[in-house]
Structure 1
Amino acid sequence: MERLETVVELTSVSKHYAHGVVALEDVSVGFRQGTFTAVMGPSGSGKSTLLQCAAGLDRPTSGRVVVDGRDLTTMGERKLTRLRRDRVGFVFQAFNLLPSLTAAQNVGLPLRLTGRRPDPELIGQSLEAVGLGDRARHRPAELSGGQQQRVAIARALVTRPAVLFADEPTGALDTGTSRDVLRLLRGLADAHAQTIVMVTHDPVAAAYADRVLFLADGRLHGELPDPTAETVTSRMLLLEEAC
């Protein structure tokens, strides 16, 4: 598949907190349409901060973040909230589904939050995309952990986001279920040109990506194209020794 334009671009992004804490320092990286990128690094390396700045959840101290052609660093809070709502999808380790709602109702929540009436066909398409077209009327308690995470992914996709950010999306799942979710994410990138950026600590999970970015002490320490679990593990060991 031809890779198209850069959907997310960070230019010289730094994030400093009080008391001299540096979470990110001069990070420049882009994420192209239809690519699946994993972000890895030791604890405290800045992985989650990178994700939050790229997604517009946190503002960098300096630098520029562009998502879907729009500069987040110059946006007011109202426009930034609208962009996150309409063009950015989020999946986290916790599924964050409302227990009293069906799968379809949970998927439709982002549309309701925008003041739009949920389109049953659109919701059905999102559930079909994650292999749960026959579970629309099931509530979270009637679904397995992997199925609940699939509903969370369908919810993130229902607005047709430019980019899907995933923070340890398989962290609460067993090994077999994790692989099912990772294959789903891989398929979304391949079949639907969905841009995906995933933070993970698992080399096996990272091996599903097109490339792996490595962070340490808030700085980029290279990337690995076409990763395998073995090559990722080796790079992580070298990185941890260097730190």
Structure 2
Amino acid sequence: MTPTVVEVLDVTKSYPGSAGVRALDGVSVGFAAGTFCAVMGPSGSGKSTLLHCAAGLDRPDSGRVLLAGQEISGLREPKLTTVRRRRVGFVFQSYNLMDSLSVWHNVLLPQRLAGVRPDRSWAREVMRRVGLAGRENDRPGQLSGGQRQRVALARALAGRPEVIFADEPTGALDLSTGREVLALLREAVDGFGTAVIMVTHDPAAAAWADRVVFLADGRIVAELADPTVEKVAAQMTAVSAR
């Protein structure tokens, strides 16, 4: 049985000004190691909040979050930051690259911030696999959007994380480039054994996953295994009509 790398247990989360509406309302879900899970739902359903709580970027009001068996929901900074930097990778729609640094130094930055000696040979291999060989000295401003997302993915993989959290990673990309990035995320799972948890609004993107979890009004309302574009689109229609 595949071990669970991330567990969210009865998590609730509200934000000031939300008129008492909970972004997450008693959510419990597990994500298996070495698998690709997409998280979908209508706008305001809580999918990004779930991702942020699961990744330790936000603290739940109640409930527990476990990363590889370690509870992180109660950790204080800087311990939580250390855990994230050593065990988790991130890929966001906005890339979150340092424009003043070269591609190479962007890729190594999380390990250096974590006080870990970078594995340079592995970083070079990751860059080769994501198609960035020869671009090490470029700055992010010299790259296309797709290339910048490849840098973000290489940065996430360079630290050998147990899980990568991806928040709308193809949202700012054209269809062709988006497919390339999704193929790289799929390779992170199949080739590197990394778990990927991805928030998306796109049924075509979700179809790259092994499993899709659907949220509505802060609760998990449906799941799909072995998704197809058609199955995901039909389930999203049903969820949105609730």
Q: Deviation string for 1:200-243 (max 9, x for gaps)? A: 0000000000011000000001101111111111111111111x
Measured after TM superposition, the shift of residue 17 of structure 1 is: 2.7
* Structure 2 CA distance for aligned equivalents of residues 183 and 190 of structure 1: 10
Q: Are residues 1:216 and 2:209 paired?
A: no
Aligned residue for 2:241, secondary structure, equals helix
Identity value in percent: 58
Partner of 1:27 in structure 2? 27
RMSD over equivalenced CA pairs, Å: 1.4
* Structure 1 CA distance for aligned equivalents of residues 67 and 149 of structure 2: 25
Which is helix-richer, 1 or 2? 1
* Structure 2 CA distance for aligned equivalents of residues 80 and 215 of structure 1: 26
Measured after TM superposition, the shift of residue 97 of structure 1 is: 1.7
Aligned residue for 2:134, secondary structure, equals helix
* Structure 2 CA distance for aligned equivalents of residues 157 and 80 of structure 1: 19
For residues 1-243 of structure 1, the aligned pairs below 5 Å read 4-18=2-16, 19-242=19-242
* Structure 2 CA distance for aligned equivalents of residues 201 and 212 of structure 1: 11
Q: TM-score, normalised by structure 2?
A: 0.95
Measured after TM superposition, the shift of residue 117 of structure 1 is: 4.5
* Structure 1 CA distance for aligned equivalents of residues 129 and 72 of structure 2: 29
Structure 1 stretches of 5 or more lacking a match?
none
Q: Deviation string for 1:135-185 (max 9, x for gaps)? A: 222222332211110101111112111110000000110010000000111
Aligned length: 240
Q: Deviation string for 1:100-153 (max 9, x for gaps)? A: 322111101112212345443232122123222232222223322111101011
CA contact (8 A) 2:85 2:111 kept: no
Amino acid at match of 1:11: L
Amino acid at match of 2:204: V
* Structure 2 CA distance for aligned equivalents of residues 141 and 61 of structure 1: 39
* Structure 1 CA distance for aligned equivalents of residues 110 and 73 of structure 2: 24
Aligned residue for 2:5, secondary structure, equals strand
Measured after TM superposition, the shift of residue 77 of structure 1 is: 2.1
Q: TM-score, normalised by structure 1?
A: 0.94
